[in-house]
Amino acid sequence: MTQKYIEKILRAKVYDVATESPLDYAPALSKRFNNQIYLKREDLQAVFSFKLRGAYNKIVHLSEQEKQQGIIAASAGNHAQGVALSASKLGIKALIVMPETTPEIKVNSVRSWGAKVVLFGDSFDDAYEHALELAEQKQLTFVHPYDDPDVIAGQGTVAMEILRQKTDAIEAIFVPVGGGGLISGIAVYAKFVRPEIKIIGVEPDDADCLNQALKANKRVTLKQVGLFADGVAVKQIGKEPFRLAKNFVDEVVTVNTDEICAAIKDIFDDTRSVSEPAGALAVAGLKKYIEREKVSGQSLVAIESGANINFDRLRYVAERTQVGEHREILLAVSIPEQPGSFLAFCKLLGKRSITEFNYRYFDSGSAQIFAGISSNGIDADKPEIMKQLQDKGFSVTDMTHNELAKEHIRYMVGGHAPCALNEVVYSLQFPERPGALLRFLSALGSQWNISLFHYRNHGAAFGRVLLGVQIEKSEQATLRSCFDALGFVYTEETENPAYQLFTGGQG
């Protein structure tokens, strides 16, 4: 059976539509992790994904009658684009069923290749079942995204290229896993030619169908899957991919959303390309493997499998990246509700940068703040910071791995104050340098009580703060003089309807 797959991979007709993607050395990642790390750049294919390899290889081998009847496929996006491009190249009618949750960029891309699109269900599995029904009703040939020998052989050409591009030592190849077509194709070829190479699958921890199947020694169906890495949001590994994976895949590494986001940034830093979450899975797994095994000096390859990401998702990715790199600590801290408390808190942190500071006055006893603090990326840093604060009497709760806090609460801190505060509100802008926030609070001193504060460091040239101060009207000129002396750009926002409607003091 292995020999049959090797022959199919060697004879696969993928280069009518695909190119031999580069195997790029990643200098920043390599230096940081003390290994030689390479990225197989499947994001550079015509549909920004490896999927066109398997799709075309399957479609081109259909009988003439099957081609004339037309084809149908189910996909979360990248397979759909591969099928649509292949059908367009071969002059075949194509119908694609995609989940309603599919990013718009993928849906539009499929339509641009001339295929008809039906949106159905919330996941790939919903779309898959509907596509099978339509295939029977309309007498269309179903092109499976991963559970098909011709598709698997097409994806296996990725391994063929890697071993041709790098003929010296490779310790491991890291492969993203959805339904298993890519990893089974890569594994069967790589293990036949270079059996010493480890083949390591990488899955999101909320969509780990291969990981669970290998543990159970049989295919299992996940009750639900996370949709962040939509390209691999599959509930059950394919039958044929699982058969091959059991024999040729060495292990599976699972990663969380923050680790995927950090990997997207890593890829960007080395290539200036923006990977989709599924496309960055292999890099996330590679990093986790290095940290777990403490390996150094090895040659490691990660498949950068796709770059079909909606632009509006980048804001979310950027937010989660710092935590994924262990470079941001999120804390809930209780401090006394009195002038100078903010300043005392910041002084305790020393030269560490505060990345976020959310607070709203509630009562005269204590203040609850949500703070983001930059970290040096090592585990020992957080306990040290927390102990430092606790030793000075601050109550501290770690929120770094609290999903509710990261997804929602950090944006909901505040609301209306429960009473009239005699509050004046300013938005301020100042040059963003290390310690800038501490200098700002030091300049304000302790003469006024801060009743509202929001600050978020976005890595831009200028920091922005929303500041509420309990102050008498006669003292407002003194406060503005303080801003002027600091050279800050500021605007009074007390009458701004956004402030009045959502955060103004009630009395």
* Active-site annotation, residues: 51, 305
- The residues, ordered by sequence, that sit 6+ positions from 233 with a Cβ below 8 Å of its Cβ are 76, 123, 124, 178, 207, 225, 226, 227
451 vs 453: CA distance, rounded Å: 7
CB-CB contact of 79 with 94 (8 Å) = no
* 150: phi then psi, degrees, rounded to nearest 5: -70, -35
CA distance 240 to 229: 23
Identify whether the C-beta of residue 81 lies closer than 8 Å to the C-beta of residue 106.
yes
List, in order, residues 6 or more apart from 400 with CB less than 8 Å away.
Answer: 323, 328, 329, 330, 331, 382
All residues at 6 or more sequence positions from 501 whose CB lies less than 8 Å from its CB, including other chains:
none
SS3 78: helix
On whether the CB atoms of residues 352 and 366 are closer than 8 A, the answer is no
Nearest C-alpha neighbor of 232 from the set 169, 275, 279, 265: 279
Helical ranges in 166-238 per DSSP H: 181-193, 209-216
**Could you tell me which residues are beta bridge partners of residue 469?**
424, 450
Supply the DSSP symbol for 77: S
Residues forming a β-bridge with 252: 201
> Tell me, what DSSP letter sits at residue 386?
H
Give, to the nearest 10 degrees, the angle between helix 149-165 and helix 239-248: 40
Q: What angle do CA 445, 449, 453 make, to 5 degrees?
A: 95
Torsions phi, psi of 182, nearest 5? -70, -50
Residues with Cβ within 8 Å of 43's Cβ and at least 6 positions away in sequence, in order, are 49, 273, 275, 279, 304, 305, 306, 307
Segment holding 318, helix H or strand E: helix 314-324
Q: Which of 324, 344, 318, 323 is nearest to 333 (CA)?
A: 344
Q: Are 463 and 424 in contact (CB under 8 A)?
A: no
Pairing outcome for strands 198-204 and 141-142: unpaired
Tell me how far apart the terminal alpha carbons of the chain are, to the nearest angstrom: 78
Spatial CB neighbours of 137, under 8 Å, sequence gap ≥ 6: none
Hunting for tokens 């006394």 — which residue is that? 336
β-strands 462-470, 116-119: how paired? unpaired
Task: Classify 195 as helix, strand or coil.
Answer: coil
